[in-house]
Amino acid sequence: MKRAIISDIHGNLEALQAVLDDIRAQGVEEVFCLGDIIGYGPNPCECLDLVIDNVRVGLLGNHDQGALFDPEGFNTGAERAIFWTRDQLEKPGGDRNSIDRRWDFLGALPRIHRDGKWLYVHGSPRNPVNEYVFPEDIYNQKKIEKLFSLVEFGCFQGHTHVPGVFTESRNFMTPDETGYVYRYEQQKFMCNVGSVGQPRDGDPRPCYVIQEPHQLTFRRVEYDPGLPANKIYNIPELDDFLGDRIKQGR
């Protein structure tokens, strides 16, 4: 098995295209997406179409949920982006079949996927859509113990846009610290696969993970973040800050 796991595309078409090209070059057999296909970014329809055509398992993220229903707990910029995204998905004059296909896909996304000893979520094992698990949570013993009690062996998640591996012994290792490869044996782990469209670990390159027997590989992909950022700057409903964030990786 060689499985690519992507997350948090956030309507960044150029980043998604670069990641899918890299995935094909790695000889990957299947792709899982952990949610937040849309929200923040300028190309929600195109990103949805690529995910529908290329992903075997997709999960619901909080921004996907926000587009389907009323966004809850979003800051002003994120809320404005969701309302704009919703308008794009229901664009008057668009092809009705394509519009329905995207909405049907979003509406059918599950909150959780299990594959034997593997668990796949957007947020956390406890709250699959909305709970954040940050690196500093390793100091919150009760939280970490509760989360790992819900994991049989390995859990893959996104949501924070910060890649790395949490171990049951309350350690967090960045991709740099593992040499971009984490070899797993007996200790439970949770892996944040990072973000395709809006990284927040100081590296603007899209990040995803390849899962293989006995190891995980973090992949960073080169592309021009100025392309999606400039699109955002030209859309009044999207805050310029969202474009800055793509370029800065923060």
For residue 150 the two structure tokens come to 């819900």
For the chain, what percent of residues have pLDDT higher than 70?
99
Torsion-angle region of 85 (φ positive above 0: left; ψ -120 to 50: alpha; else: beta): alpha
pLDDT of residue 1: 82
What's the pTM? 0.96
Q: How confident is the model at residue 191 (pLDDT cuts 50, 70, 90)?
A: very high
- Euclidean distance between CA atoms 220 and 78, whole angstroms: 25
**CATH code, domain carrying 195:** 3.60.21.10
- Euclidean distance between CA atoms 120 and 190, whole angstroms: 10
Question: Which segments of the chain are extended strands (E)?
Answer: 3-6, 30-33, 57-58, 112-115, 118-121, 154-157, 164-167, 171-173, 181-183, 189-192, 207-212, 215-220
What's the domain count of the chain? 1
Tens-place pLDDT, residues 104-149: 999 999 999 999 999 999 999 999 999 999 999 999 999 999 999 9
Q: How confident is the model at residue 203 (pLDDT cuts 50, 70, 90)?
A: very high
Element (H, E) at 48: helix 44-54
Tens-place pLDDT, residues 66-110: 999 988 789 999 999 999 999 999 986 778 899 999 999 999 999
Which residue segment(s) compose the domain that 82 sits in?
3-248
For the chain, what percent of residues have pLDDT higher than 90?
94
